[in-house]
Structure formats: structure tokens, C-alpha cells
Amino acid sequence: MHSKVALVRRPSPRLADGLVTHIERQEVDAELAGRQWAGYVSALQAAGWTTVEVDPADDCPDSVFVEDTMVVYGRLAVICRSGAPERRAEASAAEEAVRGLGYEIAHIVAPGTLDGGDVLKWGGTVWVGQGGRSNAEGLAQLRQHLAPLGADVVGVPLTTVLHLKSAVTALPDGTVIGYPPLVDVPDVWSGRFAPVPEEPGAHVVILDADTVLMASSAPRSIEAMRNNGLEVIDVDISEFEKLEGCVTCLSVRLRGL
């Protein structure tokens, strides 16, 4: 029985060579990134999460963004085949780690592509960004794997950001938050969509029913969350943001077998 376990992965020494797609490349301070990663891991631990390190992948610059390697639903971990061929080598060690924790394993296979960052889950619905890293075949395979578990898998068009969860994430009560200029179809969540005033303000990791983790680069959104009664723990992840990373992508949250 595991509860509140998070997979994390130490940054590669080649982090600065990570992919950038929608933003200008900026210089990454690898040493600062290392400290920020340690701060992120400590924040998870302080909130009661046990962290498990996936074996490092020093040759894979983007391996720290471990969320993209899998989609975990119930006791099943669906191992992704990234839409970025450069990132496909990251998956095998992540698979070993989650298998070692007792999860059942399924795979997205060619020609399907799926990045974990494109998958938003809440209350039995699984939304999958389409138009970037994850294709229709990847979505169809995910739907097939999750159907026996009762999940409703829904495609969502995506044009302006890397992953669906770069645009929207869900609060503990199921409200979907997003920075409107980057959300193609807010109507998907009509009645439960709430705008935030900053792009990184759209990214939350749910730590428990009352607490979320957010990036300190979104002070106005953090204030709005606090005013709405949520506890917010904030972490500086500037070096990962330079590579289009956000708080969600630095871990895979496993909420219990």
C-alpha cells in the first residue's frame, strides 16, 4: 500500500540543452537548477509526500521532467511514447521505478505519441491535449487502456503551449484554472473554468484537499488562490521554466494503490 508517493528525477548535467518549442531559448544556470530541484523535492516531502527517485538519465537533457514519461490511473501506469523522439529514451527507467512500486504497466506504441504533460485527470475524466506532442493514435490507445477502469478520455485542441497542463490544471475541488490567452477551448470546462492572471499561475500540483504547490513566478495567482481559502506552497523553478517546464512536470504523483 503506497499513498502520496511522488516520482522525481534528478536533473541531467545536460539540462541546458533541453528542448524549447514555444519560447526563446535562455541560458540555464545548471547549479541553480540543482538547488531549485532540491527545493521542489523538499517541498513535496514537507507536505507529507514520500519521494522516489527514478534512476538519472544523464544523456537525456529533459529527463528531470519525469511527468511526461507516464500516465498513472488507479493501479495502472501507461508508459508514454513521447511526441519528441529525443525524449523517448527517458521512459524505460521510469517504467522500472513504477513497476517496482507495484503498478501494472501498459504502453503507448508507434505510431501513437503521448506526453504525460498533455494529460489532465479529474474525477473520472481524462483530458488529452491534441495538436502538440500527443496524437490521435496516442489518445486512442490511452482510451483503450483506461476504459476498463471507467475513465472517460476526451481530446482537447492545443495550439499555443507545449502541453495541455501548460495551459490548464485542476484545483482540488475540480475547478479548472487557465490563463485565458493560452486556452484554446475553455468551453470544454464550462461552468467550472476559472481564469488566472498569469501563465504560470495556471499550474498547480494538488498536495492535499486544501493545499497546492505553485511556482513563485505567479504571485498574483498565488494571492488569488490564498484569498479563495487554499493553502499555497510556492517554489522557485525559474531554470525549469526557461525550458517550458512547470511545477507539474517535475514529478509523477502516485496517490495510492
Q: Which of residues 162-191 bind ligand CIR (CB under 6 A)?
A: 162-163, 165-166
Instruction: Point out the catalytic residue in the list 60, 80, 145, 163.
Output: 163
Least distance from C-beta 148 to ligand CIR, angstroms?
26
Burial 162-190 (b: 16+ CB within 10 A, else e): bbbbbbbbbbeeeebbbbeebbbeeebbe
Least distance from C-beta 147 to ligand CIR, angstroms?
24
Q: Which of residues 18-37 bind ligand CIR (CB under 6 A)?
A: 18-19, 21
Q: Does 11 bind ligand CIR (CB under 6 A)?
A: no
Q: Which of residues 94-123 bind ligand CIR (CB under 6 A)?
A: 117
Q: Does 204 bind ligand CIR (CB under 6 A)?
A: no
Q: Which CA distances in Å does 46 have to 1, 42, 171, 213, 247?
A: 20, 6, 20, 11, 16
Size of the site for ligand CIR (CB under 6 A): 20
Q: Where are the beta strands (DSSP E) in the chain?
A: 5-8, 50-53, 70-73, 76-79, 104-107, 119-122, 125-130, 152-157, 168-170, 176-178, 193-195, 205-208, 211-215, 231-235, 252-254
Q: Does 129 bind ligand CIR (CB under 6 A)?
A: no
- Active-site annotation holds for 163: yes
Binding site for ligand CIR (CB under 6 A): 18-19, 21, 62, 65, 67-68, 84, 87, 117, 162-163, 165-166, 243-246, 248-249
